């Protein structure tokens, strides 16, 4: 009995001891980790998973983006590109956390239209639709939640919420590849940012859809992403000519004088942009012609069309109380106004119908070829707040993320109805808009950053124009003109300043030269765009997508100072000022203050575009082109189809002589594409392809052309091979 009592006392004391030692509150840090989300393979190299119950509306569903299944199926089978158990997913307090492993040398691209950086590793961002703020912090015109890894995979987080991303900044305590611990007291190599082994995202939602893409390289990963989100598109031929946007209050006479000025000064022109003054009221807009400036819009548009000039009309979609549709659309608009205009809910068929009927009457039936859809990105101070509600049930946050995509879909569908391609401008876009024929632009104007944005657009499924407005000097003017002529939309946006290509007479000759060079290159550029549609390859793309390109980031020691920076942050240098236009041309723009610049050539032989001379192989060269030229380099074997100098794409007729330039000594093939240039019939397979190929015959390169796909349209005759590298 006694023994039993003593042992019970002992057990009780032990339990008491143990329970006192159990730390209160030390709960498991993360419960519910879904270490193995169920990935379903959808296409070769494409897998989807759905965590918990995602919101019904997401970036892709908002615009009914459908994968281009017939093309995706032609890609090769791949194994899942990341160790599945290393992808951690859990939901806590209404937020879904996703973590991907990162290797020490892995680089990350994408995560929105950034303007200052191409390498995203080391950044912290909140992806949020906005006018670019001047810092790569996630607020931008295309805050696309997609990243591509240098290891050959990419991930799309298909959510219309504002997403937090920590790209290789966090360090987990259970890391399999931990950072070395150093003592700052004694070690010079103490690092304020010990290496991180992961990329983490936080989606403020109870669930989310994730899509994984693999690729043999960054480009193939991006191709799969683009095709999964709907593929690319081929713009109308006129869209690739030169664009001039006229000052806001120009009337029909001033516009005609502008067009005459282009003829007189011998400068290419295809499109004239009308800015807010074409509306009877703007900010908010009526979408009805101002009868004092344009008394007879039908006759005006007709007159322009007869001169080969297309019109593009500026709008923002905020409906003025003076608009004839104000009362009818009111029930289908959000709780908040923008500049006193009501905001149509473009997810609702009723709103779409009212806007479409109105635009059909005022814009499309008149013959206007496209729109510039402004201010759909927002500035927090004037856009609807996140608390806004829309009649479809969407809140302000989700609507802001998808609004740019919705207006692209709405407007493209109107042109699709009349089987006429359009090409326009939009200030907000997102995942899901890759098949819509729009180019992003903004009010920010740093030339260098415009080029970095052009590079990054290739990771976001969007296009970007480094538009020219005005300049502090002739040098700045010509350097900007050169860049814009090597972009998806060669546009001078003179809405505020009334500048013309000849505004800086000192460099006018060089402006003409580069604009005509673009026109000459249209057969190459148009074929490049066909690859965007047929294969999802971005027409203007980052060097990271180019085979043989490697540039190890240069990391320099940062400054240590007690007042500014006690952490001695490293300074990284990366390549963010050169890019590829199509498969063969490397563009290295120069900026106003530069007399020389360096260019990093990928491995393989490279040649000067203008002379055909050999310039280097996988090395860093110095370009010292004067103001008369933009540095352009061409790959060994490149085949570049060009035509005569034309002023308007209506001259790109079935009788155009073709000059095919060949660079270097390697045999190669180029698929020259053509179609009617205007309708959507190319999507039904109505296009022509011929293969231009070179091979070595008796020690010399020889060129031949053969049919690949028959179609009705073919614009060329009298092919002349021009072997540039003698």
Cβ 116 to ligand GAL shortest distance, Å: 20
CA 265 – CA 287 distance, rounded (Å): 33
Which residue, 287 or 673, is less far from ligand GAL as judged by CB?
Answer: 287
Cα angle 94, 97, 99 (rounded to 5 degrees) comes to: 175
Cβ 465 to ligand GAL shortest distance, Å: 11
Cβ 276 to ligand GAL shortest distance, Å: 5
Cβ 626 to ligand GAL shortest distance, Å: 31
Nearest one of 289, 313, 145, 290 to 229, comparing CA atoms: 145
CA 600 – CA 70 distance, rounded (Å): 37
- The dihedral sign for the CA sequence 209, 215, 219, 224: negative
Which residue, 497 or 553, is less far from ligand GAL as judged by CB?
Answer: 497
Residues near ligand GAL (CB under 6 A): 275-276, 314, 374-375, 443, 493, 495
**Residues 466, 488: contact at Cβ < 8 Å?**
no
At 481, list the tokens. Answer: 């003109």
Nearest one of 199, 207, 217 to 111, comparing CA atoms: 199
Which residue, 239 or 637, is less far from ligand GAL as judged by CB?
Answer: 239
Which residue, 429 or 493, is less far from ligand GAL as judged by CB?
Answer: 493
Cβ 428 to ligand GAL shortest distance, Å: 11
**Residues 624, 595: contact at Cβ < 8 Å?**
yes
Nearest one of 429, 424, 43 to 227, comparing CA atoms: 43
- What's the gap between Cα 45 and its chain centre? 22
Nearest one of 628, 406, 428 to 517, comparing CA atoms: 628
Lateral strand order in the sheet of 490-493? 438-440, 424-426, 370-373, 310-315, 271-274, 242-245, 490-493
Cβ 493 to ligand GAL shortest distance, Å: 5
Query: Per the omega criterion (within 30 degrees of 0), is the bond before 682 cis?
Result: no
At 286, list the tokens. Answer: 């009526």
Cβ 255 to ligand GAL shortest distance, Å: 16
Cβ 501 to ligand GAL shortest distance, Å: 18
Name the DSSP class of 505.
G
Cβ 495 to ligand GAL shortest distance, Å: 4
Which residue, 141 or 690, is less far from ligand GAL as judged by CB?
Answer: 141
Which residue, 75 or 495, is less far from ligand GAL as judged by CB?
Answer: 495
Which residue, 495 or 533, is less far from ligand GAL as judged by CB?
Answer: 495
Which residue, 493 or 499, is less far from ligand GAL as judged by CB?
Answer: 493
- For the stretch 34-39, contacts whose Cβ atoms lie closer than 8 Å and that sit 24 or more positions apart, written own/partner, are 34/88, 34/89, 34/90, 35/85, 35/87, 35/88, 35/89, 36/84, 36/85, 37/87, 37/89, 37/210, 39/80, 39/84, 39/212
Cβ 420 to ligand GAL shortest distance, Å: 24
Which residue, 252 or 275, is less far from ligand GAL as judged by CB?
Answer: 275
Cβ 280 to ligand GAL shortest distance, Å: 15
**Residues 631, 625: contact at Cβ < 8 Å?**
yes
Which residue, 217 or 443, is less far from ligand GAL as judged by CB?
Answer: 443
Three-state secondary structure along 206-222?
Answer: CCEEEEEEECCCHHHHH
- The dihedral sign for the CA sequence 348, 354, 360, 364: negative
CA 240 – CA 451 distance, rounded (Å): 18
Q: What is the CA radius of gyration of the chain?
A: 28
Which residue, 316 or 649, is less far from ligand GAL as judged by CB?
Answer: 316
């Amino acid at each position: 009995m006694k023994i039993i009592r003593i042992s019970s006392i002992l057990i009780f004391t032990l339990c008491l001891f143990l329970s006192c030692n159990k730390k209160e509150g030390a709960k498991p840090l993360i419960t519910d980790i879904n270490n193995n989300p169920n990935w379903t393979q959808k296409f070769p190299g494409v897998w989807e998973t759905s965590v918990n119950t995602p919101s019904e509306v997401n970036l892709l569903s908002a615009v009914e983006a459908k994968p281009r299944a017939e093309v995706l199926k032609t890609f090769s089978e791949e194994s899942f590109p990341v160790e599945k158990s290393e992808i951690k997913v859990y939901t806590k307090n209404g937020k879904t956390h996703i973590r991907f492993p990162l290797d020490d040398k892995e680089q990350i691209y994408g995560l929105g239209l950034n303007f200052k950086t191409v390498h995203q590793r080391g950044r912290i961002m909140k992806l949020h639709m906005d006018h670019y703020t001047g810092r790569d912090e996630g607020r931008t015109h295309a805050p696309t939640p997609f990243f591509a890894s240098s290891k050959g995979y990419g991930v799309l987080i298909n959510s219309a919420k504002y997403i937090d991303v920590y790209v290789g900044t966090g360090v987990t305590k259970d890391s399999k590849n931990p950072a070395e611990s150093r003592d700052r007291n004694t070690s010079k190599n103490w690092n304020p940012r010990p290496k991180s082994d992961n990329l983490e995202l936080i989606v403020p939602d109870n669930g989310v859809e994730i899509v994984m893409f693999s690729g043999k390289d960054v480009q193939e990963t991006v191709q799969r992403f683009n095709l999964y989100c709907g593929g690319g598109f081929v713009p109308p031929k006129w869209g690739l000519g030169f664009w001039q946007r006229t000052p806001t209050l120009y009337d029909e006479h001033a516009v005609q004088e502008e067009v005459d000025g282009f003829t007189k000064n011998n400068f290419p022109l295809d499109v004239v942009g009308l800015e807010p003054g074409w509306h009877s009221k703007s900010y908010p807009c009526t979408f009805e012609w101002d009868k004092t400036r344009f008394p007879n819009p039908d006759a005006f548009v007709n007159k322009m069309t007869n001169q080969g000039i297309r019109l593009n009309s500026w709008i923002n979609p905020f409906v003025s109380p003076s608009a004839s549709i104000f009362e009818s659309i009111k029930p289908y608009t959000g709780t908040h106004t923008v500049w006193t205009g009501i905001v149509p809910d473009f997810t609702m068929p009723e709103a779409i119908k009212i806007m479409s009927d109105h635009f059909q009457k005022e814009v499309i039936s008149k013959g206007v070829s496209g729109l510039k859809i402004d201010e759909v990105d927002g500035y927090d101070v004037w856009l609807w707040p996140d608390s806004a509600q829309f009649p479809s049930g969407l809140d302000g946050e989700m609507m802001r993320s998808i609004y740019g995509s919705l207006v692209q879909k709405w407007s493209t569908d109107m042109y699709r109805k009349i089987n006429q391609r359009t090409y326009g401008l939009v200030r907000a876009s997102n995942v899901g808009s890759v098949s819509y024929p729009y180019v992003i632009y903004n009010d920010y104007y740093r030339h260098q950053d415009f080029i970095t944005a052009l590079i990054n657009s290739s990771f976001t499924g969007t296009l970007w124009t480094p538009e020219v407005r005005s300049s502090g000097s002739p040098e700045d003017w010509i350097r900007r003109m050169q860049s814009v002529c090597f972009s998806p939309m060669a546009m001078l946006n003179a809405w505020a300043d009334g500048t013309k290509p000849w505004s800086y007479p000192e460099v006018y000759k060089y402006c003409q030269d580069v604009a005509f060079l673009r026109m000459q290159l249209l057969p190459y550029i148009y074929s490049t765009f066909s690859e965007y549609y047929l294969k999802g390859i971005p027409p203007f793309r980052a060097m990271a997508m180019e085979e043989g390109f490697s540039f190890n980031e240069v990391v320099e020691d940062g400054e240590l100072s007690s007042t500014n920076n006690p952490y001695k942050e490293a300074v990284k240098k990366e390549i963010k000022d050169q890019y590829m236009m199509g498969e063969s041309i490397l563009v290295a723009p120069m900026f106003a203050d530069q007399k020389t610049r360096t260019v990093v050539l990928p491995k393989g032989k490279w040649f000067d575009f203008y002379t055909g001379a050999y310039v280097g192989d996988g090395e860093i060269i110095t370009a010292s082109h004067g103001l008369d030229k933009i540095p352009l380099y061409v790959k060994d074997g490149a085949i570049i189809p060009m035509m005569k100098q034309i002023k308007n794409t209506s001259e790109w007729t079935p009788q155009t002589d073709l000059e095919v330039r060949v660079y270097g000594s390697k045999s190669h093939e180029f698929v020259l594409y053509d179609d009617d240039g205007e309708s959507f019939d190319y999507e039904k397979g109505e296009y022509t392809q011929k293969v231009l190929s070179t091979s070595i015959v008796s020690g010399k390169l020889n060129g031949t052309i053969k049919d690949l796909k028959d179609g009705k349209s073919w614009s060329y005759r009298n092919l002349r091979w021009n072997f540039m590298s003698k």
